[in-house]
Amino acid sequence: MIIGGGDTGADCLGTALRQGAEIVNQFEIMPRPPEDRSDSNPWPTWPLIYRVSSAHEEGGKRIFAINTSEFVGENGNVKYLKTHKVEQVFENGKMSFQEIENSEENIEADIVLLALGFTGPEKSPILEQLGVSLDDKGNVDRSEDYETSIEGVFTCGDMGRGQSLIVWAIAEGRSCAASVDEFLMGATELPAPVTAKETPLN
């Protein structure tokens, strides 16, 4: 069972199948996207359409507009998930999901992989104790060389960039390491492939 219908969920699905899983279900809380662009999604905005990745072509079942309300297990092992169908509701300019009555279903599971949407860094005590500044998206604010508002404290990857691809996290990790090296040693010979302010469109 995979909870999350995005790219990470698709990666989990493909990996599970390649490792011999007999049945793989992938949950997505959002409704199934349309096959074609809607009038409210014109070019050049990113097309919000139904996509099938190479992992999905390998097998598995995608279930849309579903939410998990409870994990039920025995002796420390999950046995099934209590689920219900949902519909999107827009109120006061905000979207939420409302449970559809009489749509409850228990779905068996041996393993559950969480591939849920990233909504920003966890507001953990360490961020509060450090006192780092956050940007308007809730990510840790940083300079081009990955240093936060606190001298000597650096951040990279999703913590500073927000939701992005693993290739950006890897590139940022290498670049951040170079900045830390320079901060500690006064100079660095480490590679720095990207700055913290670069975007995929640059």
Domain with 155 in it:
125-185
Is a pLDDT exceeding 50 seen at residue 55? yes
| Predicted confidence (pLDDT) at residue 103 exceeds the cutoff of 90 | yes
Q: Which range is least confidently modeled, 70-74, 99-103, 137-141, 160-164?
A: 160-164
Is pLDDT of 1 > 50?
Answer: yes
Residue 201 confidence class, pLDDT cut points 50, 70, 90: low
User: What's the CATH number where 14 sits?
Assistant: 3.50.50.60
Residue 165 has pLDDT above 80, yes or no: no
- pTM of the predicted model over 0.75: no
Model confidence at 116: pLDDT above 80: yes
Q: Say whether both 140 and 169 belong to one domain.
A: yes
Residue 43 maps to a domain: yes
Q: Which of residues 114, 148, 174 is at a domain's end?
A: 114
As a whole number, mean pLDDT of residues 145-150 equals: 96
Both 136 and 85 in one domain: the answer is: no
Instruction: Write the DSSP string, the chain.
Output: -EE--SHHHHHHHHHHHHTT-S--EEEESSPPPPSS--TTS-TTSPP------HHHHT--EEEESEEEEEEEEETTEEEEEEEEEEEEEEETTEEEEEEPTT--EEEE-S--EE-PPP-S----HHHHHHT--B-TTSSBP--TTSB-SSTT-B--THHHH-S--HHHHHHHHHHHHHHHHHHHHS---S-----TT--TT-
Q: Are residues 109 and 131 in the same domain?
A: no
